[in-house]
Amino acid sequence: MKNYYFVKFLLLLFLLAFLSSSFSKPSKPRYSDSRIAIEILSSHETLSKGDTLFGAIKINPAKGWHIYWLNPGDVGQATELKLEISGSHSKEIEPLYPLPKLFIDEGIATYNYYGMQFFPFKFIVPKDFESNRLNLELSAKWLVCKHKCVPGKAKLSITLPVTANKSKKTNHYKLLNKLYSANSFDTLTLKNLTMDEFGIKFPLAEISNKQILQMQFFPLTEGLFDYEKLNFETGSNPNSREYFRLPFAKYTWGDPTQIEGYLSIKTIDSSYILFVIGKTKKED
């Protein structure tokens, strides 16, 4: 009789374990169709508490197709990547967007991504992480264009074991670490942005104490600027100008009182990118 109850107890444990595994979310790390492929890459196969997880969302439009940056430009739709850790330690993670290319077609300017792109992210596993699994979920929306434009969306996920043993890295670890570092830009808060009827002036002295040879501004603030004219070159006399003007578009609908965007800067001895933010005031 004792053996009967013992066997029944073991069967109950097996059933509970089976049901638990059946209701856990399976990983779905990839999506693809004839126009685009998306995949979540991870720096680890298994994690330990306190580990730093590096990852990236790899997006690869088919040949000739493209998607759009956060600010698509005159037309298009921003690529949205919502990434979060689900469960008891739920947390939203902001992936980093690489700078796009500016394309101009018959006077229409857009910020596009052609070819394979990586959108890196980072997450530090808390020391008090309670679960034995880390669930990473991605909700993606995009507009992919060639001779026509097709909207799309997908939900992807990966599940990584969290163990008390030493974590195990994937072959992607070094690449993903470098990608995150390469797309992590310093922030510069500009204090002396001024505005007139023609545009907004960036003071060069606040941006760099070295000779600036060339700059390009990638605005996150939409509906303000003439995107074709956001390049700046000093010409033969680098010290001849004190500011870099961002010209307004003919028709504007955005808020000019606060500006956000990225500056790609080339000085006499280096090249780098800054995330810039600042409040503007009208010139006296």
Dihedral class, residue 32 (left if φ above 0, else alpha if ψ from -120 to 50, else beta): beta
Q: What is the maximum alpha-carbon separation in the chain?
A: 98
* CA–CA dist 88, 172 (Å, integer): 27
Strand (E) or helix (H) holding 102: strand 101-105
pLDDT for the residue 173: 97
Which tokens in the block code for residue 281? 């005031």
How far apart CA 275 and CA 263 sit, in angstroms, is 6
The residue assigned the tokens 């606060």 is 258
Structural domains present in the chain: 25-182 (2.60.40.1250), 186-282 (2.60.40)
What is the C-alpha to C-alpha distance for residues 158 and 25, in angstroms, rounded to an integer?
9
Q: What is the rounded distance in angstroms from the CA atom of residue 98 to the CA atom of residue 109? A: 18
Angle at 94 between CA 97 and CA 38, to 5 degrees: 60
DSSP string, 105-169: ETTEEEEEEES-EEEEEEEEPPTT---SEEEEEEEEEEEEESSSEEEEEEEEEEEEEB-SS--EE
Rounded to whole angstroms, the Cα distance separating 44 from 49 reads: 13
Provide φ and ψ at 66, rounded to 5°.
-145, 160
- Contact call for residues 234 and 204 (beta carbons, < 8 A): no
Determine the pLDDT at residue 235: 55
- Residue among 284, 277, 214 at smallest CA distance from 244: 214
* Helices assigned H by DSSP within 183-255: 204-207
pLDDT at 204: 86
Position 110 scores a pLDDT of 97
Ranges of H-type helices in the chain: 2-23, 173-182, 204-207
pLDDT of res. 208: 86
Among 102, 120, 123, residue whose Cα is nearest residue 53: 123
pLDDT score for 232: 84
Contacts of 182 (CB under 8 A, 6+ apart): none
Tens-level pLDDT at each residue, the chain (284 residues):
545 444 444 444 444 444 343 334 556 999 999 999 999 999 999 999 999 999 999 999 999 999 999 999 999 999 999 999 987 678 999 999 999 999 999 999 999 999 999 999 999 999 999 899 999 999 999 999 999 999 999 999 999 999 999 999 999 999 999 999 999 999 999 999 999 999 999 888 888 888 888 999 999 999 999 999 999 886 544 455 688 889 999 999 999 999 999 999 998 889 999 999 999 998 87
Dihedral sign, Cα of residue 207, residue 209, residue 210, residue 212: positive
Q: How far apart are CA 246 and CA 189, in angstroms?
A: 17
CA dihedral 255, 279, 201, 249 (to 10 degrees): -10
Phi, psi at residue 9, to the nearest 5°?
A: -65, -45
